[in-house]
């Protein structure tokens, strides 16, 4: 007998994983490029993981409730699965920062985030019948755009708000 997982659980897992990877990685790269401070990055990971997990779970909860005739189980499933997945995925980025030099931890985080996006993309492509390469490329493109944008944003913050200019 094959176990049928509710679509709302799958949706929450997919959203939470993707959002956890993209948000946390963007924050890591931005903080690293502006200060390279391990404590600031670890504090940022904890802060964004908790705050964004709660925010995204509430957003998914409200989105599901806004549908016509929502099922209580679906609302509950997507809320809980989004929160837990986002929290766990986000907090998992702390591991390299407590065990590696900061620069290496950033590289490991980028590789880890890429692998998570690839695995999620392959699962989506299989489930929907879409072209695997197109789905993977699309999602990695967004991930790499986040890395590039937040890197330069962090550099701008460093320049604009360094102690010499304030």
pLDDT band at 4 (very low <50, low <70, confident <90, very high): low
Least confident of 1-10, 21-30, 41-50, 89-98: 1-10
105 located within any domain: yes
Asked if residue 1 has pLDDT above 50, the reply is no
Q: What is the pLDDT of residue 164?
A: 64
Percentage with pLDDT > 70 across the chain: 95
143 lies in a domain?
yes
Domain-located, residue 164: no
**Start-end of H helices in 2-131:** 7-34, 38-65, 72-92, 94-99, 102-128
Residue 1 lies in a domain: no
* 132 part of a folded domain: yes
Res 37 pLDDT > 80: yes
Question: Is 97 strand, coil or helix?
Answer: helix
The pLDDT of residue 51 is above 90: yes
3 in a structural domain: no
Q: How many domains, the chain?
A: 1
Domain interval for residue 113: 9-158
pLDDT at res. 7: 82
pTM of the model: 0.90
Average pLDDT over residues 17-30: 96
Across 117-128, b (16+ Cβ under 10 Å) vs e yields bbebbeebbeee
In a domain, 165, yes or no: no
Residue 79 lies in a domain: yes
Q: What is the pLDDT of residues 137-151, one digit of tens each?
A: 999 999 999 999 999
């Amino acid at each position: 007998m094959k176990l049928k997982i509710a679509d709302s659980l799958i949706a929450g897992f997919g959203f939470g994983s993707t959002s956890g990877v993209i948000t946390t990685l963007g924050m890591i790269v931005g903080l690293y490029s502006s200060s390279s401070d391990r404590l600031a990055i670890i504090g940022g990971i904890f802060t964004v993981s908790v705050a964004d997990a709660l925010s995204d779970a509430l957003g998914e909860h409200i989105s599901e409730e806004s549908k016509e005739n929502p099922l209580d189980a679906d609302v509950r499933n997507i809320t809980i699965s989004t929160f837990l997945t986002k929290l766990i995925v986000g907090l998992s980025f702390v591991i390299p920062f407590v065990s590696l030099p900061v620069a290496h931890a950033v590289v490991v985080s980028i590789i880890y985030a890429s692998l998570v996006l690839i695995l999620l993309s392959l699962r989506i492509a299989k489930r929907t019948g879409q072209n695997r390469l197109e789905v993977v490329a699309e999602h990695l493109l967004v991930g790499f755009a986040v890395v590039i944008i937040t890197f330069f944003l962090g550099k701008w913050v460093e320049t604009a708000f360094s102690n010499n200019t304030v």
